[in-house]
């Protein structure tokens, strides 16, 4: 009896197990069927929910929230100054309110910027300035970029560490910021030359606050400052040796004395005594810049480029904009090229660009920039443009050429770098600052200053 009960129990268990397995198989089959139907349904919905050609049809149901910038939007009725250094725009506005010209305001703002953003610009660098005279409806371009010393050679960095091209005495070009400021003021300034330096001198004496970006740059260049005593004095605490960090103060008494001397002399160049001292310091560091290089530097007034900028996909000379830009070595013509290429897409508002399929807008924008930078690699200083580069410069200003490049942009994919026409890579360039000024009489200044640190 016991063995029969055991056998029956085993058989009953086997039946139960088989029944369970059968039920599971049925459930698994149902699950597979359900998942398969769901996947097919999802695929169907994706196919019919998305446009067949995302480049031509905007899916309105994908619209996100209206675009909001983190920058504070301000509207001005009379005048405006834009600067990327804290407190510097206010100094430019003060100059305009006191009766200064747009150029006066630009000089004061540049001096302030150079103190706050010393890693981007300053009197050791140079600038390119575009000045628009509203009463004349005429623009003027001042090229006050640094030039190579007379002793510079094409092979001067051969068999030297790569870092020497970026930092150190051989990487320094002839400083041109002050001569350029004076040249612009002499032609279009109104307030006394010395008054434009008042705030900068006070800032250098009392100190400026280390910004987050400057603190970052100090951390990056520490390894290269061990042998640079002058910079260590500025960027570190002399008593502890600790490098300056965000929020610390940087006092530059020597620079204040130099700016005071330049302001008081009212001459295009600092005194021979000051220039000689500068040349001696540079020579001690190993620079090839000589006193003659400093004395012989002269900014150049260049003819501005005037380009038609479309307001939409079709040109209309009566309603289109006219852009006034600096010629090479500035990339102003490429800004116009980018604007004309993007105009073919007929974006009429921030909502069009960023709310409805914003990712497609950014794709098109990046592709446009790639073509612009590809053409940038063919340009150089206007004084040294080849015949082919001169022809290219003229083509870049035409709507026809912008349309040719725009037609090469695919909304579906990107291309190999060679597709964009670059002959060399620009690398990751840094060390530049820009200021924009609009005076109450309609005059305007756009000036880009740089020390080209990278």
Q: For the residues of 240-300, what is the DSSP string, one character each?
A: T-PBP-TT-EE--HHHHHHHHHHHHH-SSS--HHHHHHHHHHHHHHT----HHHHHH---E
Distance from C-alpha of 23 to C-alpha of 33, rounded to nearest angstrom:
15
Distance from C-alpha of 183 to C-alpha of 163, rounded to nearest angstrom:
34
Binding residues for L-glutamate, by number, are: 145, 450-452
pLDDT digits (tens, 9 = 90+) for 19-31: 433 443 444 444 4
pLDDT of residue 123: 92
Confidence tier at 8 by pLDDT (50, 70, 90): very low
Q: So what CATH class is 305-420? A: mainly alpha
pLDDT at position 172 over 70: yes
pTM for the full model? 0.81
Domain segments of the chain: what residues?
Answer: 80-302+430-450, 305-420
Burial 222-237 (b: 16+ CB within 10 A, else e): eeebeebeeeeebbbe
Binding residues, by number, are: 145, 450-452
Mean pLDDT, to the nearest integer, of 205-223?
Answer: 92
Spot the catalytic one: 147, 368, 432, 448. 432
- The answer to whether residue 432 is catalytic is yes
pLDDT digits (tens, 9 = 90+) for 287-316: 999 999 999 999 999 999 999 999 888 888
Token readout for 47 is 């196919």
Mean pLDDT, to the nearest integer, of 140-165?
Answer: 92
pLDDT of residue 250: 96
- Answer yes or no: are the C-beta atoms of 140 and 236 closer than 8 Å: no
Distance from C-alpha of 410 to C-alpha of 55, rounded to nearest angstrom:
8
Q: Using the Cα atoms of residue 257, residue 146, residue 301 and residue 79 in order, give the sign of their dihedral.
A: negative
């Amino acid at each position: 009896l016991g063995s029969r009960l055991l056998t029956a129990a085993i058989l009953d268990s086997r039946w139960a197990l088989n029944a369970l397995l059968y039920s599971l198989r049925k459930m698994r089959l149902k699950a597979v069927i359900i998942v398969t139907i769901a996947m097919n349904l999802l695929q169907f919905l994706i196919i019919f929910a998305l446009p067949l050609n995302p480049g031509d049809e905007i899916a309105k149901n994908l619209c996100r929230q209206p675009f909001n910038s983190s920058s504070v939007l301000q509207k001005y009725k009379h005048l405006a100054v834009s600067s990327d250094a804290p407190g510097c725009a206010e100094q430019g506005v003060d100059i305009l309110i006191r009766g200064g010209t747009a150029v006066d305001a630009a000089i004061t703002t540049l001096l302030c910027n150079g103190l706050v953003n010393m890693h981007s610009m300053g009197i050791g660098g140079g600038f390119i300035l575009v000045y628009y005279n509203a009463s004349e409806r005429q623009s003027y371009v001042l090229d006050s970029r640094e030039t190579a010393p007379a002793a510079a050679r094409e092979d001067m960095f051969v068999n030297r560490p790569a870092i020497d091209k970026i930092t150190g005495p051989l990487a320094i070009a002839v400083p041109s910021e002050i001569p350029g400021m004076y040249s612009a003021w002499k032609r279009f300034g109104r307030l006394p030359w010395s008054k434009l330096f008042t705030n900068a001198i006070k800032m250098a004496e009392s100190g400026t606050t280390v910004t987050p970006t400057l603190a970052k740059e100090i951390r990056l260049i520490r390894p290269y400052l061990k042998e640079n005593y002058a910079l260590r004095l500025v960027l570190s605490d002399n008593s502890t040796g600790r490098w300056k960090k965000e929020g610390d103060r940087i006092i530059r008494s020597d620079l204040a004395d130099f700016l005071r001397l330049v302001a008081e002399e009212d001459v295009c160049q600092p005194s021979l005594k000051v220039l000689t001292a500068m040349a001696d310091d540079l020579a001690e560091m190993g620079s090839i810049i000589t006193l003659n290089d400093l004395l012989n530097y002269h900014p150049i007034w260049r003819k501005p480029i005037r380009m038609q900028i479309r307001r939409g996909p079709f040109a209309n000379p009566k309603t289109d904009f006219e852009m006034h830009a600096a010629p090479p070595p500035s990339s102003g013509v490429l800004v116009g090229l980018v604007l004309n290429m993007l105009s073919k897409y007929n974006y009429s508002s921030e909502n069009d660009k960023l709310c409805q399929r914003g990712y497609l807008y950014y794709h098109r924008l990046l592709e446009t920039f790639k073509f612009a930078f590809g053409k940038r690699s063919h340009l150089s200083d206007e004084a040294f443009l080849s015949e082919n580069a001169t022809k290219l410069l003229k083509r870049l200003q035409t709507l026809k050429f912008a349309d040719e490049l725009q037609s090469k942009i695919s909304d579906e994919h990107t291309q190999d770098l060679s597709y964009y026409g670059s002959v060399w890579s620009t690398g990751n360039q840094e060390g530049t600052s820009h200021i924009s000024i609009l005076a109450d009489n309609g005059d305007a200044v756009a000036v880009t200053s740089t020390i080209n640190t990278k």
